[in-house]
Amino acid sequence: MDKFKDKIIKEWELPFESDPFVPNVVLIKFYKGMLKSTDWMIARHQEEVLVGRDTTLSVEEMQYLGTNRQKIRDVIKKLKTYV
């Protein structure tokens, strides 16, 4: 799990808060890219569950991924109110 967290954290280095020197539209695009970059993980997991295979990601990894994806969606929503 720690290896998975380290990989996700390293890929998502920008903080979840708005940078006053970066326009919100740029931040929104960046955060949407972060979501898109993990869509395949969600799709693969769902397919593995659907066909009854062992999943590549553990329950804890999926929870971690889901929690962080929701944080990103919340930030995008917040940033859109200031565009």
Digit-coded pLDDT (tens) for 13-42? 555 555 667 788 888 898 899 899 999 999
The pTM (predicted TM-score) of the whole model is: 0.74
In this prediction, residue 51 carries a pLDDT of 97
- Binned at pLDDT 50, 70 and 90, residue 12 comes out as low
The pLDDT assigned to 27 comes to: 85
Of the pLDDT bands very low, low, confident and very high (cuts 50, 70, 90), residue 62 is very high
Domains of the chain, by residue range, sit at 2-10+28-80
Q: How far is CA 26 from CA 30, 35, 43, 69, 75, in A?
A: 6, 15, 26, 18, 13
The two tokens of residue 42 are 């969600």
